[in-house]
Amino acid sequence: MTHKFHATILREYDIRGIIGQTLGSDDARAIGRSFGTRIVRAGGKRVAVGYDGRVSSPILEHALVEGLNASGVDVVRVGMGPTPMLYYAAASLDQIDGGIQITGSHNPANYNGFKMVFEGRPFFGPDILDLGTLAETGDWTSGNGTHETLDIMDEYVERLLKGLDGIDSAMLERLSIAWDCGNGAAGPVVEKLTARLPGKHTLLFTEVDGNFPNHHPDPTEEKNLLDLKKAVADGQLDFGVAFDGDGDRIGAIDGEGRIIWGDQLLMIYAEDLLAMEPGSTIIADVKASRALFDRVAELGGKPLMWKTGHSLIKSKMKETGSPLAGEMSGHVFFAHQYYGFDDALYAAIRLIAASARLGRSVTELRGAMPAMINTPELRFQVDESRKFAVIDEVKARLEAEDADVNATDGARVNTPDGWWLLRASNTQDVLVARAESYSQDGLDRLMGMIDAQLAASGLERGPQAGH
């Protein structure tokens, strides 16, 4: 027996497709067979499986478990919950050799997919392509695995609360926070978590609904934070947090309704962490503000700019022993007193803890940050066959001009006006650009440089692609 996946679904960081078009039960079953085969051949036996709140998730979960069992793997089913709850299961339960979460993350309701961990490390890139090869050749192990159901949500909530150990409860008692779950998989955990927290908590859209009736669960887009802003303003609350569809990315606003972007959250976490772990390496992706890298250095830490992508960041953390990393997209990774995976619920708890330990409100911490003017992440459609070639052409031209370029992931160019970035997306046929300056004039000049580079490669900054 063999199986061929649709050409578009095996991505750099995960597997993702459109239900009924590029992804279905047969694919889930084949993923189970291939992943299970990898586990068995590595000497493993047990895999944890979880799923998010999408309408299609239970059907895919059933087929995935069938495939894993048919490869000879025993499955621990942890049920519906956020992706970090599955990561927690894989990291904390006895004799677990891998984990798979069925999730469409922040994609539209008709998408779904799979995120995987293998023997405690991220499973991405060549690993994912290998699943396709195993399926296409039918090179699968066979067996009769078992499956059991294990409810770990309460244990997970208990572990999240440890992030507040040593914090004065009287200080927590004074806090007022809004939590927007966007009808995603984090809702039930947030209900249990906030029931255990001191202070006043306003909960939005905790009911899991895979149709996302209130707003799309992607906290990196300002329009999806309007309900959170209103709740904070109406209740005169201290701050608000929001989660994406599977709870591994965080968004936040302060008490004045200002967004705290991923790199700005990292500035708060870094200040708190470096007081406890002086001299630590703090990692952020190439899209992060210069203000973050400068602030980490100023606080005595070692700033490290790395490639965008949660799997790539997690791997770099293990390599460097970094206790903290983050991305502009809202993925935050704590290896300090935690497991090193991206967990937006734990990040929310650590925001509360950081504010308490630093003795300043989240609004004060946000207000103290330098006022930089920057673009959001700009995405331009480009033919898949051209996207990496264009970046190579840009780098060659910049080298000839003797420009100040960081080539960690695409080209990030420093100028007296600030910096600009052009990189190829690993998951879509788009180029991604971003620029940051100290003034609007400076930003305009930086955007002019991006336009000039695109034009030199026969492209223009036309209509922007979505996610």
- CATH classification of 373-456 is 3.30.9.10, yes or no? no
34, 56, 71, 105: the active-site residue = 105
Q: List the pLDDT tens digit at each of the 467 positions of the chain.
A: 999 999 989 988 889 999 999 999 999 999 999 999 999 999 999 999 999 999 999 999 999 999 999 999 999 999 999 999 999 999 999 999 999 999 998 888 999 999 999 999 889 999 999 999 999 999 999 999 999 999 999 999 999 999 999 999 999 999 999 999 999 999 999 999 999 999 999 999 999 999 999 999 999 999 999 999 999 999 999 999 999 999 999 999 999 999 999 999 999 999 999 999 999 999 999 999 999 999 999 999 999 999 998 888 999 999 999 999 999 999 999 999 999 999 999 999 999 999 999 999 999 999 999 989 999 889 888 988 899 999 999 999 999 999 999 999 999 999 999 999 999 987 778 999 999 999 999 999 999 999 999 999 998 876 554 44
CATH number for the domain whose boundaries are 15-152: 3.40.120.10
Measured CA to CA, the distance from residue 341 to residue 168 in angstroms comes to 27
CATH code linked to domain 175-367: 3.40.120.10
Report whether 217 contacts 224 (CB < 8 A): yes
Which residues, 6+ apart, have CB-to-CB distance to 162 below 8 Å?
Answer: 337
Alpha-carbon gap, residue 350 to 276, rounded angstroms: 13
Name the residue ranges covered by the structural domains of the chain: 15-152, 175-367, 373-456
Residue 403, CA distances (Å) to 333, 375, 415, 449 in order: 32, 21, 8, 12
Are 457 and 393 contacting, i.e. CB atoms less than 8 angstroms apart?
yes
Give me the sheet containing 176-180, strands edge to edge.
200-204, 176-180, 239-243, 250-254, 259-260
Give the torsion sign (CA, 275, 157, 104, 128).
positive
Would you say the CATH fold of 373-456 matches that of 175-367?
no
- Is 105 considered catalytic here? yes
Is residue 299 a contact partner of residue 277, using CB atoms and an 8 Å limit? no
